[in-house]
Amino acid sequence: MASRKLKNFVDKGAFFKSVVEDGSDLVMVVDYTGTIYYHNKSLIYYGYKAKELIGKNFFEFIHPDESKKVRKGFLTSTKKSFNRAVEFQFKAKDGLYRSFEFNSLNLKHRDGVEGLLLDCRDITQRKKDAEALIHAQQAKEQFMANISHELRTPINGISGIASLLAEGTPPEESKTYLNAIRSAAENLKVIINDILDISSIESGKLTFEKIGFNLDDLLSALEGTFTVQAKSKNVSLFFEMAPETRRMYFGDPVRLNQILINLIGNALKFTQKGSVTLSVSLKSMQKDTCELKFEVRDTGIGIAADKLSRIFERFSQADSSVTRKYGGTGLGLTIVKQLVELQKGSIHVNSLEGVGSVFTVIIPYAITGDLKAGISKPIYRKENSNDLLKKLHILLVEDNDINQLYAGSILKSWGIKYDVAENGFVALEKLKTIRPDLILMDVQMPVMDGFEASRSIRQGDSLICKIPIIALTAHTNQSIIERCTESGMNDYIPKPFTPGELQEILLRYTGKKSEAKSSLPVKSVATEKKTVTDFDLTYLIQVSNHDRSFIGQILNSFLTNAEATLLALRADLKENEIGRISSLVHKIKPSLTMIGAETARQLASELENMTNEGGAKSKIKSGTKEFCSLLEKTISGLRALDLRKV
């Protein structure tokens, strides 16, 4: 009798069916035993035909593991006028289960028939999202535990060893202790750099240079970086470079170096015996671009097949035991993957547990003609730069005693004359009597900080206002860098810095970088009228191996683009339109780097930041006028340049 009533209810429910028939939710009418009397068309999304389930029992399609729980919720629904959010796993036509939840309306309370109207909503994606969120939270918690351990370990080591040194130790033991402190400090630097890099990537503020480089120099530096570590583990280290890859590429060599350092470092970390090999080959070649293929192979512990999909996730390693045994933040491969993909490249891994792993990276680069056979070594070599550095006079503005000692020791070892000021006020007093070639300026200091001191220097007399100022800062986020620029600083070195980083910045800003190699021309190439111009072809000459034909191609290309940019910028200024300024200066900035137009490049960066951050319109316009003037001066200088004298 009850079944007949329910059937009549369904048959007569024309209005009801018109409402739910085409709905996105799966709607069913079932009796108190679960027999299905009606379902709408939504079942076609799960492989069933219209009316295919009518007459069958609802519980036939429930996952066996959940049957007891769902029956309990169903029974509750038969006793209440309304019930909600009963979850169940529903079997689709292909045999796979989907996650659902139903809200039920008891028809007995409304229409006097013993049946339920079930509104079933597919929550499969919601469940997946919830699981992903839980996984991400667990990974983040694991990362915080890892990073806490990774930071505490070297800090405790440094603190303990420093205490031993303070108590007095024999000279032979002191050297061992100092080496341990240095190693711990390097570990801290790697961890901090990983955190800063992932922060920059995720905020969208990471930028890539487009400058010329050759792989011989890059691989030579990598070999020097890892040789000692490989020997200490008795692991063979090989570098293989296909002959056809010996040419110049345009891209970001610093980011490529970072990618390879991470992959080689990982390979060495997880390899206890055997070898680690980096091989470079040419995957494809077109007229103006090519794809380079980098393979890092090791004979290490390998990665289990079910773990491969997780190794590029943030805060992850293959499993927690790896973290405990080998250490690390779990950010390295995440950074590598994103650096590769941001350059429109790809990365994948093949691995066999207990046998080893192969990481393959493919990155596209712009190219120009082949380099000559004898590819030169990097210009920044300590042995070639000693005589140049000895001529410098540096003002070191730093309040921290240890940082004074560290930076001062490096400068002293190079024979550089230097003065120390413990804050910005003392620096200004010293500048009344000395005229340094360059100022190394700490940012955070008592009495007067680096920002205020730099502004005062830039407003000073003509003898000191043009001295290059390099910020020394542990904070490299965008807001701090912008404050450095706004206060008149030329550049910055992140703390802690290496001697090589300090050397590079000194050579770059003292106006004599090219003297580091006697076969190269002096810093600023003069026009026939002896007008000092804002460009330096040293780097272009270096990477091209003094190929005048290639240099001419680059300069002609630059002049064409620069003149078009100059016209566009002046037109925008005339029409009081500043919307395109950011994209125009951004587009020409890599070319300015290539020809060594450092002042123009810095101003381009400032303009780009100002426009992107919504700076004052008057300030943007005045900066653009100054940039146009610099660009015009550079164009004139290059037009007058005699390449036969380069």
At residue 524, does pLDDT exceed 60? no
Other residues' Cβ atoms within 10 Å of the Cβ of residue 166: 8
pLDDT of residue 599: 83
Q: Which residue has the higher pLDDT, 262 or 163?
A: 262
Least confident of 197-206, 256-265, 378-387: 378-387
- Check residues 240 and 528 and name the one with the higher pLDDT: 240
pLDDT score for 326: 42
Q: What pLDDT score does 395 carry? A: 96
Please check the confidence at residue 529 and state whether its pLDDT lies above 70.
Answer: no
Q: 344 vs 306, which has greater pLDDT?
A: 344
| Residue 283 confidence (pLDDT) | 92
Give the count of alpha carbons within 13 A of 312, CB side only.
Answer: 13
Q: Residues 366, 289: contact at Cβ < 8 Å?
A: yes
Report how far apart, in Å, the C-alpha atoms of 326 and of each of 150, 322, 584 are.
11, 6, 47
For each of the domains in the chain, give its residue range(s) and CATH number, in order of start: 2-122 (3.30.450.20), 140-202 (1.10.287.130), 211-370 (3.30.565.10), 382-485 (3.40.50.2300), 538-645 (1.20.120)
Nearest to 142 by CA among 401, 298, 315, 362: 315
Of residues 540 and 268, the one with the higher pLDDT is 268
Return the DSSP state at 578.
-
pLDDT given at position 380:
37
Average pLDDT, the chain: 78
Q: Does residue 523 carry a pLDDT above 50?
A: no
In order, the DSSP letters of 463-509 are TTTTS-EEEEES--SHHHHHHHHHTT--EEEESS--HHHHHHHHHHH
Q: What are phi and psi of 441, to 5 degrees?
A: -115, 115
Torsion of CA 257, 201, 595, 496, to 10 degrees: -60
Lowest mean per-residue pLDDT among 165-174, 241-250, 330-339: 165-174
Helix (H) or strand (E) holding 237: strand 236-241
Which pLDDT score is estimated for 10? 65
Cα(510)–Cα(437) distance, rounded to whole angstroms?
6
pLDDT tens figures, 20-78? 666 678 898 999 999 999 888 888 888 898 888 999 999 999 999 998 999 999 999 99
Mapped onto helix, strand or coil, the DSSP state of residue 457 is helix
Task: Find tokens 């035991």 and name the residue.
Answer: 321
Spatial separation of the C-alpha atoms in residues 221 and 233, rounded to whole Å? 20
Give the phi and the psi of residue 29 in degrees, each rounded to 5: -120, 120
Give yes or no for a contact between 29 and 117, defined as CB atoms under 8 angstroms apart: yes
The 8-class DSSP code of residue 645 comes to: G
**DSSP 3-state assignment of 422?**
coil
Please report the pLDDT score of residue 153 as a whole number. 57
Tell me which residue of 420, 431, 425 sits closest to 396, measured CA to CA. Answer: 420
Q: Distance between CA 387 and CA 461 in Å, rounded?
A: 30
Q: Specify burial of residue 556 (Cβ count, 10 A radius: 0-12, 13-18, 19+).
A: exposed
Q: What is the CA 294 to chain-centroid distance, rounded?
A: 19
Residues 175-226 pLDDT 10s: 777 766 766 676 677 667 666 666 667 666 677 877 778 888 788 777 877 7
> Do residues 257 and 293 touch, judged by C-beta distance below 8 A?
no
Residue 295 · residue 359 · CB < 8 Å: yes
Closest CA to 505 of 518, 488, 519, 490: 490
What percentage of the chain exceeds 70 in pLDDT? Answer: 74
Q: pLDDT at position 118, please?
A: 92
Question: Residue 528 — very low, low, confident or very high, per pLDDT cuts 50/70/90?
Answer: very low
User: What phi-psi label fits residue 301: left (phi over 0), alpha (psi between -120 and 50 degrees) or beta?
Assistant: alpha
Q: What are the CA-CA distances from residue 571 to residues 140, 334, 567, 601, 603 (Å)? A: 51, 44, 6, 21, 19
Record the pTM: 0.39
**Residues paired with 576 in a beta bridge:** none
- Percentage above 90 pLDDT, the chain: 24
Is residue 372 pLDDT above 60, yes or no? no
Taking residues 302-315, what's their average pLDDT?
Answer: 76
Predicted pLDDT of residue 475? 66
* Of 138-147, 441-450, 501-510, minimum mean pLDDT range: 138-147
Residue 373 pLDDT > 70, yes or no? no
Q: Would you place residue 246 in the very low, low, confident or very high pLDDT band (cuts 50, 70, 90)? A: confident
Is residue 515 pLDDT above 60, yes or no? no
pLDDT at 278 over 60: yes
pLDDT at 559 over 70: yes
Does the structure show a pLDDT above 90 at 421? yes
Mean of pLDDT values over 164-175: 71
What pLDDT is recorded for position 203?
65
Q: What is the pLDDT of residue 427?
A: 94
**Lowest-pLDDT choice from 230-244, 314-328, 443-457, 554-568:** 314-328
Sign of CA dihedral 466, 598, 381, 277: positive
Mean pLDDT along residues 95-111 = 88
Q: At CB < 8 A and 24+ separation, what contacts does 510-516 make?
A: 510/388, 510/392, 510/437, 510/438, 510/468, 512/388, 512/391, 513/379, 513/538, 514/538, 515/388, 516/379, 516/380, 516/381, 516/384, 516/385, 516/388
Quick count: other Cβ atoms within 10 Å of Cβ 516?
A: 21
Residue 288 pLDDT class (50, 70, 90 cuts): confident
Angle, CA 223 vertex, CA 217 and CA 224 arms, to 5° = 90
Please, what is the end-to-end C-alpha distance for the chain in angstroms? 105
CB atoms within 10 A of CB 517: 19
Note the pLDDT of residue 282.
92
- Mean of pLDDT values over 158-173: 72
Torsion of the alpha carbons at 621, 624, 625 and 626, rounded to the nearest 10: 130
DSSP state of 575: T
Whether 257 and 246 have beta carbons less than 8 Å apart is answered as no
Kindly report, residue by residue over 116-145, the tens digit of the pLDDT: 989 999 998 888 888 878 776 766 665 565
Q: Is 615 exposed, middle or buried (0-12, 13-18, 19+ CB in 10 A)?
A: middle
| pLDDT at residue 530 is higher than 50 | no
Q: Which of 261, 348, 357 is nearest to 312 (CA)?
A: 348
Torsion sign, CA atoms 543, 549, 554, 559: positive
Average of per-residue pLDDT across 368-381: 36
- Spell 434-467 as b/e; 16+ CB within 10 A means b: eebbbbbbbbebeebbbbebbebbeeeeeebeeb
